[in-house]
Amino acid sequence: MESDIVENSEIDKDTVSPEDLETLFSKKYKLLAETAVTLKKTYINKLSVSKSLNIAVQLLDNSIEVYRLDKSSLSKVCRLSGHTKTLTELVFSNKEEHLLYSAGHDGVKLWDIRTSGLCVQEYKDEQPSHPRSYECMDVSCSGRVICAGTETVQNDAYMVFWDQRKPEPLGGYWNSHTEDITQVKFHKDKSETLASGSIDGIINIYNIEEPTEDEALIFSLNVDHAVEKITWLNENQLSCATQSNVLQIWDSSSADKLQHYDREKISRSIKRSRADDCYVVDAFTDADGRVVVLAGSAGGEGHALRSLALAGKKLQPATLFAENKQLVRCCAYDKQRDVLVTTGESGLVNVWGAPGADKEALPKQLGKSVRLHEQRHRPY
């Protein structure tokens, strides 16, 4: 006979002592800068960081704020308002760093963050009166092609393409996914290679230079879990974080699943006791060439944020972000400077770097920076 359905009321905690944590998580990062975007509690769910370390974040009122990192403080560059519906993605152009793209349930826009931040382009759908609800977008490494993925509408999920110079779409794909498309990610060096991920549990790899969708689809990778984040790690590998907090690594040239790390393993590896509090943010390749996964725990105070280095089937402790104070939703890593930016559910923007980085790695102050509000380190 089946037993009662019980609640696990154990509090999530570290499984090793603080001293052991210090020893195990040996790659040290410290908090270089922090800012709160508003005084009220808010979530920052979307983030993009440009090559020059401009940080764009989405606010819950669907506006965008851009910050610049000067030494150890974050100053606001501009505020971009224009989306009237949910904002779903922010992407800085790789080529022209003052250009920021945004996607939302009311279309795709392009902003110039210089001067006071203008919307310089609105990308149209084939039927401009019915803009699609975009869930994600990306820009190719050449800076020329934009792709945005939609929610399902009557069983169709679309990927729409534009040439960034023109508002009319180039075309689209609508046969390769059956549920909301949650991620579209261009390869970092090959502007014709694109990966898409969806709630249907599939990642598709395309060569968009082929004339039709059928010919463009190269591989379909069955992740078997709803896709949350896709990141290209290097030439032939991509990582997939799922909505069930699983991490997979795939080879995009052979369609092989290289690794699968389940939630229990990730939780054990970050040295926390409750696997069902563990969440995965994203993976990236760090300055040392290692693939690193950023994960945390929503349990206890909800502040545990740690990274693990992938070593075959093993996950080795990498960094303990001790000064973290929020549940982190996104991150962006700058490989050149070895700097990580995180944002999350307490509305904080955090910049992390190796100790000593603040002297060398960060952009020098360019002229006068406009401080629109006092820096607050304790927002509420």
Partner 1 sequence: MSSKVSRETLYECVNAVLQFAKDKKRNFLETVELQIALKNYDTQKDKRFAGSIRLKYVTRPNMQVCVLGDQQHCDEAKVLNVPCMDAEALKKLNKNKKMVKKLAKKYDAFLASESLIKQIPRLLGPGLNKAGKFPSPLSHQESMSQKIDEVKATVKFQMKKVLCLSVAVGNVDMAADELAQNVHLSVNFLVSLLKKHWQNVRSLHIKSTMGPSQRLY
List the one residue from 15, 72, 73, 86 that touches partner 1 (CB under 8 A).
86
- 3-state secondary structure (DSSP) of residue 359: helix
Q: What whole-number distance in Å separates Cα of residue 245 and Cα of residue 258?
A: 17
Q: Judged by CB, which is closer to partner 1: 54, or 252?
A: 252
Cα separation, 37 vs 234, whole angstroms: 33
Q: Which residues pair with 152 in a beta bridge?
A: 157
Q: Residues touching partner 1: how many (CB under 8 A)?
A: 47
Those residues with Cβ within 8 angstroms of residue 346's Cβ, 6 or more apart along the chain or in another chain = 36, 41, 325, 326, 327, 379
Distance CA 175, CA 242 (A): 22
For partner 1, the binding residues in 256-295 under the rule CB under 8 A are 257, 275-276
Give the H/E segment covering residue 23: helix 18-24
Of the candidates 327, 319, 279, the one whose C-alpha atom is nearest the C-alpha of residue 302 is 327
Q: Least CB distance from residue 132 to partner 1, whole Å?
A: 16
Element at 215 (helix H, strand E): helix 213-216
Residues 249-286 as b/e (b if ≥16 CB within 10 A, e otherwise) read bbebeeeeeebbbbbebbbebbbbbbbebbbbbbbbbb
Q: Give the one residue of 20, 189, 214, 323 binding partner 1; rule: CB under 8 A.
A: 214
222 lies in the site for partner 1, by CB under 8 A:
yes
User: Strand, coil or helix: what is 360?
Assistant: helix
Find the binder of partner 1 among 89, 200, 282, 334 (CB under 8 A).
Answer: 200
CA 63 to chain centre: 18
- Binding residue (CB under 8 A) for partner 1 from 38, 72, 73, 243: 243
Which of 187-195, 212-220, 332-340, 356-364 is the region at the interface with partner 1 (rule: CB under 8 A)?
Answer: 212-220
Strand partners, 145: 163
- Residue number with CB closer to partner 1 (265 or 337): 265
Nearer to partner 1, 119 or 217 (CB): 217
Shortest Cβ distance from residue 277 to partner 1 (Å)? 8
Of 26 and 244, CB closest to partner 1: 244
The span of 70-78, 158-166, 193-201, 335-343 binding partner 1 (CB under 8 A) equals 193-201
Provide the token pair at 294: 């950023």
Identify which range of 65-73, 118-126, 223-231, 356-364 contacts partner 1 by CB under 8 A: 223-231
Closest CA to 290 of 228, 363, 350, 239: 239
Instruction: Please answer whether residues 120 and 150 qualify as being in contact, where contact means their C-beta atoms are separated by less than 8 angstroms.
Output: no
Comparison of 32 and 349: residue with beta carbon closer to partner 1:
349
* Phi, psi (degrees; rounded to nearest 5) at 259: -145, 150
Interface map 157-176 toward partner 1 (x if CB under 8 A): ------------------xx
Report whether 181 contacts 136 (CB < 8 A): yes
Between 350 and 379, how does the x/- string for binding to partner 1 read (CB under 8 A)? Answer: ------------------------------
Which CB atom, from 23 or from 222, has the smaller least distance to partner 1?
A: 222
Tell me: does residue 2 bind partner 1 (CB under 8 A): yes
Residues that bind partner 1 (CB under 8 A): 1-9, 43, 45, 60, 86, 175-179, 199-202, 204, 213-214, 217-220, 222, 224-226, 228, 242-245, 254-255, 257, 275-276, 298, 327, 329, 345
